[in-house]
Amino acid sequence: MIGKDRIIGLLREVVMASDGDFAEAVFTGTDYGLTRYANSIIHQNVADQNSSVAFRVAVGKKIGVASTNIFEKEALIRVCNDALEIAERSVPNRYFNALARPQKYKRLVTFFVSTARVTPAKRAAVVKRICARADRKGLIASGSVSSSMSEIAVVNSGGVEAYQPNTSATVSIIYSSDDSSGYAQGVSRRFERIDLESLVSRAETKCLMSRNPITLDPGKYDVILEPTAVANLLEWLTFIAFSANPYHEKTSFLSGKTGKKIASPALSIYDDGLATRGIAFPFDFEGVPKKKVFFIRRGIGGGPVYDLATARKYKKRSTGHGMPPGNAEGPMPLNVHVAPGSKLPSQMIRAVERGVLVTRFHYINGFLDTPRALLTGMTRDGTFLIEKGKVASGVKNLRFTESMLRAFSNIVAISKGTELIDTWWSDIGCVSAPTIHIKEFNFTGKTEF
């Protein structure tokens, strides 16, 4: 950890000295450890310390971006000048107006010493417990345990000085037998808050219960999607639907549907970077405070998230969802929540006459037909047949191909409990999802295990 004063001080000095009309520096520093295990042994144990500074410099409406991982004054000045040079040789972007102005940010505690102090030995001890349980049950354990510290800062020549230190920890467990597997995961800013015993029990139960899986023919089934499966779907919608560009370019399933009924009234999906029961983070990579944005509110279509450029382009205000300089994808929601319902998962299963319980999806792809949010993917690590309100047996994995517009209209119930699901951006966000019961979910294929 370099610390706020040194990071802000050095970046301020460099951006203020830039000859560009505007200059911005985005700092990301990480101190990351990951212990990965398979076949019930640790096979990969890594640590990485790195920091990166990306400069965005504007000359009029011409923008240049350059970055380095050398956090020394001379190197930073050189790279800031590189960004200026790129800007000078660039062409104007008419949607560029200015960088963010000084802002007030919500005070959030996102750094916890308990996570920062996690050592490789501590992570290995956790893995040892997970593997020992597998050995006792005759199962094979695979997964990972990670802990990280990070610092993110945004400084610009207009006076923005944002800094936030973070910690994050994840545990994922897959228990496997000859013909089954079970999965559980946890994510938290506080390592000790991950309930290892609960995760171990859940993964073990799923693995043991899904032994001797039956083959189910593709078709339309009621599904109980557990929180990880719901989050897997939502991760794709963040790319193809919830951002300003697909929305305004009319390739999103939300395009033209703001204010219209598009889903069950039970469904609300929103992004809220400030919600402390998620992995909260106060500002975006342009230094704009996070705002809450509803994509679907009680079944009614909402709007997308914006950064500064798309806000200007589409005559809106930034919602605080800018991504690091140099990205061409536009704004992204990184703290997606599905509002809870009122049922217990056990009640929801009891309401299913014949259906499929899905723990998680694998290798989803959402590019098939984006205006209909048509997704495809496979089930994985715990797929079960529900009969007469009870989990009857494991099921060999199935392929779904389903429009989320249709699925969201077919929601029967949503659980009152939600879980935080790890994403690749878990330092600054995650998905918070409940269990959801959907009728007539379309399975289009099956596999051999």
Partner 1 sequence: MREIIDYLKSMGIDYADARFVERRNESITVKNGQLEAASRNDGRGVGIRVLHKGCWGFASGSHLNPGDLKKLAAKAVSIAKASAATRKSPVSLAPVEIHRDRYISPFSEDPFAVSLDEKIGLLMKVDETLRKTPKIKIAEASMDFFKTDKIFCSTEGALIEQSIIESGAGYEATAVDKGEAQKRSYPNSHRGDFGCAGYEFIRELDLAGHAEKVAAEAVALLSAPPCPSVSTDIIITGDQMTLQVHESCGHPVELDRVLGTEISLAGGSFMTIDKLGLLKYGSDKVSIVQDSTIPQALGSFGFDDEGVKASRTDIIRNGLFVGYLTSRETAPKVKASPNGTMRADGWNAIPLIRMTNINLEPGEWDFDSLVADTKDGILLSTNKSWSIDDKRLNFQFGVEVAWQVKDGKIGTMYRNPVYTGITPEFWNSCDAICNRSHWRIWGVASCGKGEPMQVAHVAHGVSPARFRNVTVGVSR
Binding positions for partner 1, 326-345, rule CB under 8 A: 326-328
How near is the Cβ of 426 to partner 1 at its closest, in Å?
A: 11
Given the rule CB under 8 A, which of 5-13, 161-169, 322-330, 331-339 is the region that contacts partner 1? 322-330
Contact call for residue 215 and partner 1 (CB under 8 A): no
Given the rule CB under 8 A, which of 7-15, 18-26, 42-50, 260-268 is the region that contacts partner 1? 42-50
How near is the Cβ of 76 to partner 1 at its closest, in Å?
A: 12
Given the rule CB under 8 A, which of 2-10, 201-209, 284-292, 367-375 is the region that contacts partner 1? 367-375
Contact call for residue 322 and partner 1 (CB under 8 A): no
* Contact with partner 1 (CB under 8 A) among 18, 67, 147, 268: 67
Q: Would you say 280 or 375 has its CB closer to partner 1?
A: 375
How near is the Cβ of 414 to partner 1 at its closest, in Å?
A: 26
Contact call for residue 17 and partner 1 (CB under 8 A): no
How near is the Cβ of 274 to partner 1 at its closest, in Å?
A: 27
Three state DSSP letters for the chain = CCCHHHHHHHHHHHHHHCCCCEEEEEEEEEEEEEEEEECCEEEEEEEEEEEEEEEEEEECCEEEEEEECCCCHHHHHHHHHHHHHHHHCCCCCCCCCCCCCCCCCCCCCCCCHHHHCCCHHHHHHHHHHHHHHHHHHCCEEEEEEEEEEEEEEEEECCCCEEEEEEEEEEEEEEEECCCCEEEEEEEECCHHHCCHHHHHHHHHHHHHHCCCCECCCCEEEEEEECHHHHHHHHHHHHHHCCEHHHHHCCCCCCCCCECCECCCCCCCEEECCCCCCCCCCCECCCCCECCCEEEEECCEECCCECCHHHHHHCCCCCCCCCCCCCCCCCCCCCCEEECCCCECHHHHHHCCCEEEEEEEEEEEEEEEEHHHCEEEEEEEEEEEEEECCEEEEEECCEEEEEEHHHHHHCEEEEEEEEEEECCCCCCCCCEEEEEEEEEEEEEEEECCC
Given the rule CB under 8 A, which of 27-35, 109-117, 290-298, 333-341 is the region that contacts partner 1? 27-35
Write out the two tokens for 322.
């800018």
Given the rule CB under 8 A, which of 138-146, 220-228, 294-302, 412-420 is the region that contacts partner 1? 138-146
Contact call for residue 43 and partner 1 (CB under 8 A): yes
Contact call for residue 305 and partner 1 (CB under 8 A): no
Say how many residues touch partner 1, by CB under 8 A: 90
Contact call for residue 140 and partner 1 (CB under 8 A): yes
| Residue 71 identity (one-letter amino acid) | F
How near is the Cβ of 124 to partner 1 at its closest, in Å?
A: 4
Given the rule CB under 8 A, which of 120-128, 190-198, 227-235, 300-308 is the region that contacts partner 1? 120-128
* Contact with partner 1 (CB under 8 A) among 4, 60, 68, 103: 68
How near is the Cβ of 205 to partner 1 at its closest, in Å?
A: 19
Contact call for residue 35 and partner 1 (CB under 8 A): yes
* Contact with partner 1 (CB under 8 A) among 2, 12, 82, 344: 82
Given the rule CB under 8 A, which of 65-73, 195-203, 227-235, 382-390 is the region that contacts partner 1? 65-73
Q: Under rule CB under 8 A, which residues in 236-295 are in contact with partner 1?
A: 249-251, 256
Phi–psi pair at 249, nearest 5 degrees: -85, 0
How near is the Cβ of 106 to partner 1 at its closest, in Å?
A: 29
Contact call for residue 421 and partner 1 (CB under 8 A): no
| Residue 251 identity (one-letter amino acid) | T
Q: Cα dist. 89→63, 215, 299, 411 in Å?
A: 9, 61, 48, 53
Contact call for residue 409 and partner 1 (CB under 8 A): no
